[in-house]
Structure 1
């Protein structure tokens, strides 16, 4: 599958099989994700492997689709609002790299925003000033949803003089 097709075919998975994922393979994809662009090579991402006790405390309404693995990705805090935003953008690029590599290898993800809740931040022991980019169920898809329509990019462009 070429890159364009990979990008267009990736989906947020709602339900996973119980087949375990190889943590060493996940580490390889996360390592490759770290080649994401980031200002001044700050590499602002941190990855938490969420164990069963922490997962139960998070009490996600769909239990992350019963994924065999749950990861939380954090973006480091910064001294200025501009640096904080750049860190968040770079960490999102890191996440996208990981998601695409996982998908290319038949592993799906469920990106949730549960980590933005104050109680979840406390459960995950998120340091002050850090952002939670997402909490991800990771595993083999039970089924793959159809693609939703997208607004053509021409409808999202503005030409400045």
Structure 2
């Protein structure tokens, strides 16, 4: 699969097979994602595997589609607003790179913003200054949904003088 195929065929997976996923593979995908762009090499990503007790306490409506593994991604906060934003953008790039790495090996991911809610931040022990990027179910897709229509990029592209 080439890069464009990986980007255009990756989907947010809603239901996962019960098959376990090798944590070492997931760590390899996270390592690959660490090559994502980040301003001044701050490497602002912070990651946690969410264990069964915490996962039960989160009480996600679909339990992350039954994903065998759940990963939390946050971004380091900063007293400088511009640095806090730069960090969050870098971790969003990290998340996309991680999802593409998983997809390239036949796995799937489910990106949820659940962890950003105040109660969930408390359960997960996320400091106020940090930015929640997402909480990700990871596993092998039960089904890969079809692509939804996209607006033509030509409708969003303009030239500055």
TM-score normalised to the size of structure 2? Answer: 0.98
Alignment of 1:112-127 (within 5 A): 112-127=112-127
Partner of 1:143: 143
Separation in 2, partners of 1:105, 1:22: 12
Gapped regions of structure 1 (runs ≥ 5): none
Q: Residue 128 of structure 1: CA displacement?
A: 2.2
Separation in 1, partners of 2:135, 2:77: 18
Gapped regions of structure 2 (runs ≥ 5): none
Partner of 2:2: 2
Is 1:25 aligned to 2:25, yes or no?
A: yes
Moved over 2 A (4+): none
Between the two proteins, the alignment pairs up a number of residues equal to 161
Partner of 1:44: 44
Separation in 1, partners of 2:53, 2:156: 43
CA RMSD, aligned part only? Answer: 0.6
Partner of 1:66: 66
1:26-48 CA-partner distances (Å, limit 9, x unpaired): 10110110000000100000111
Separation in 1, partners of 2:113, 2:159: 33
Partner of 2:75: 75
